[in-house]
Structure 1
Amino acid sequence: MITAEGLTKRFGDKTAVQDVSFTVKPGSVTGFLGPNGAGKSTTMRMIVGLDRPTSGRATVAGREYRRLRAPLTEVGVLLDAKAVHTGRTARNHLRAMAATHGIPSTRVDEVIDLAGIGSVSRKRAGGFSLGMGQRLGIASALLGDPHTLILDEPVNGLDPEGVRWVRQFVRHAASEGRTVLLSSHLMSEMAQTADHVIVMGRGQVLADAPLEELVRAWTVNTVRVRTPRAADLAAAVGGPSVEIVSTAPDLLDIVGLPAARIGDLAADRGIPLHELTPTTGSLEEAYMALTGDSVEYRTKEIS
């Protein structure tokens, strides 16, 4: 379990993280989301002792990271895949890490195979592509077979097969009872991977909830209806709590009524329906609604 209690981090006059508290429980994948500059990476760095909190405390399994006797065997961390001696081969990099904890060389071979870097394991890390560098970083995080995984943007630069592998791996790790904290900017991938979501914005926690609960709270469900009698159907379903948008002469998007009720009303009046499609909100929509006022670096919309 990872616990953050009132974490605050200031760099001079800038407050990067302010009074952040949350718990990451074992047995599920917790997604860690937020715009650039939201404080996610700083929070992760404080959890593993790379940044000292201005105030507050972070623990893993009840202890501060610096108090862990064998960190690699308890917490697997990927924060910067480029943090590798560029002159070392991937195998030698992992062997050097293993030597600090008495981890056998057979485990080095295991994580090389697991991460899919066997074909480049004897090549210098400085020549790795972004994707191969990420795979080496993941192998490093897995080296001690830790109970807790903290992975910052692990799918960055990976091809579709690699992205799928990371998704399957972290889901499997959670199913074994491990604690998994995973950050990503890929909302579609996070929607398939995470059970629980923590969203940060401008250094503060904006939401901390199960993924499905967060999506329900921050999105609206729409029913798309196609009928040659769109005006008649709109009159039949209209009401103070119903929103109707006509996007084409025969097409309505209806908010505020379930699909079954719309179908019943249409049947009662003999209105033919050519389409009746309920759509639920997405994690991306919920994320945008949550963080709309917390984006520090905003691009101009294309019109």
Structure 2
Amino acid sequence: MIEAHDLTKRYGDKTAVHGISFTVRPGTVTGFLGPNGAGKSTTMRMIVGLDEPTSGRVTVNGKRYAEHRTPLREVGALLEAKAVHPGRSARAHLAVMAATHHISPKRVGEVIEMTGLSTVANKRVGGFSLGMGQRLGIASALLADPQTLILDEPVNGLDPDGVQWVRNLVRQLAAEGRTVFLSSHLMSEMAQTADHLLVIGKGRIITSGPVQEVIDGVLGTTVRVRSPQAADLAPLLQAAGGTITSPEPGALEVRGLTGELIGNTALDHHIALHELATQQASLEAAYMALTQDAVEYRSETAPPETSPEPIHSGASR
């Protein structure tokens, strides 16, 4: 378990992390999301003692990282895959790490096999591709079979097969009761991998909770309706508490009402329906809405698309 209490980190006049508190629990994959510069990497570095908090405290399994006698057996971390001597082979790098914690050479072979490095294990790391470097970083994190895994952008540079492998790996580790804390900018992948989310922006926690709860809390569920009598149905649904937009003639997008209620309302008023489909909002859309005011490094974007025309209760047919 990872527990942070009022964690703050300042670099000169800049405060990178502002008094954040959170808990990452075992048996769960917790996704750590936020724009570039939001404080994710700083937070992860403080967890493993690479940065000292200005104030506050963060512990892993009840102790500060530096207080653990054998920290690699407690926490496995991938923060910078290239933090390896380029002249060493993957096997030699892992063997040196193993020697510091009295880890059997057999385990070195196991993680090499587990991470798909067998064919390159004796090659110099300096010649590795980005994806192979990521696999070595994950192998290093798994070397001591720790109960807590901290992975910063673990799928960066991996091909689709590698991405799926990481997804299955972290799910398996969580199922074994381990604590898994990972960051990624791939929202579609995070939606498939994480159970719980922690979203940070400008050094502050924006929201946290189970993935679907976070999405629904921001965007809710949208029900798409098509009907030749859409203009008659819209005010009835508004009166029932729905928020209605019309993306095209004869179609409605409804928020705040269930498909069942919409269908019953149409039936009660003898309105024909040609489509009634519940559409779950995406994590990407929820993330963009959550962090729109927390982006420090924003690129120039294309002009926004025209918003769907709102339907007003007084609209005429």
TM-score for the superposition, normalised by structure 2:
0.92
Task: Tell me the residue number matched to 1:36.
Answer: 36
The whole-number CA distance in structure 2 between the counterparts of 1:201 and 1:190 is: 17
Percent of paired sites with the same residue: 63
Where 2:257 maps in the other structure, the secondary structure is coil
Q: Does 1:163 align with 2:163?
A: yes
1:240-277 per-residue CA deviation (whole Å, 9 max, x = no partner) reads 73222222222211223211122122223333222111
Distance 2:242 2:143 in 1: 55
Query: Counterpart of 2:239 in 1: which secondary structure?
Result: coil
1:231-242 alignment to 2 at 5 Å? 231-239=231-239, 241-242=241-242
Partner of 1:112: 112
Residue in 1 that maps onto 2:13? 13
- What is residue 212 of structure 2 aligned with on the other side? 212
CA distance in 2, matches of 1:115, 1:208: 31
1:257-302 CA deviation, whole Å, 9 max, x = no partner? 2111221222233332221111122222222222111111112221
Unaligned 5+ segments in structure 1 are none
Matched residues, number: 303
C-alpha RMSD of the superposition:
1.4
Partner of residue 257, structure 1: 257
Residue by residue over 1:122-180, the C-alpha shift from the partner in whole angstroms, topping out at 9 and shown as x without a partner, is 11111111111000000000000001101101011111111111111111111111111
Matched letter for residue 281 of structure 2: G
Any residues of structure 2 matched to 1:94-113 within 5 Å, and which?
94-113=94-113
Number of the residue aligned with 2:172: 172
Q: Which residue of 2 aligns with 1:248?
A: 248
Q: Is residue 147 of structure 2 the alignment partner of residue 147 of structure 1?
A: yes
Residue type of the alignment partner of 2:66: R
Match of 2:51 in 1: 51
Q: Which runs of 4+ in 1 moved over 3 A?
A: none
Cα distance in 1 between the residues matched to 2:235 and 2:203: 47
Q: Distance in 1 between the 2:259 and 2:240 partners?
A: 18
1:235 positional shift: 4.1
Q: Tell me, in whole angstroms, the C-alpha distance in 2 between the residues paired with 1:240 and 1:259.
A: 13
In the alignment, the residues of structure 1 paired with residue 210 and residue 254 of structure 2 have an alpha-carbon distance, to the nearest angstrom, of 27
1:68 aligns with 2:99: no
2:297 aligned partner: 297
Structure 1 CA distance for aligned equivalents of residues 26 and 240 of structure 2 = 45
The corresponding residue for 2:224 is: 224
- TM-score (norm. length: structure 1): 0.96
Distance in 1 separating the partners of 2:153 and 2:128: 17
Post-superposition shift, 1:213? 2.0
Query: How many Å separate the matches in 1 of 2:212 and 2:248?
Result: 31
In 2, distance between residues paired with 1:39 and 1:296? 11
Q: 1:248 aligns to what SS in structure 2?
A: coil
CA distance in 1, matches of 2:55, 2:237: 55
CA distance in 1, matches of 2:29, 2:220: 25
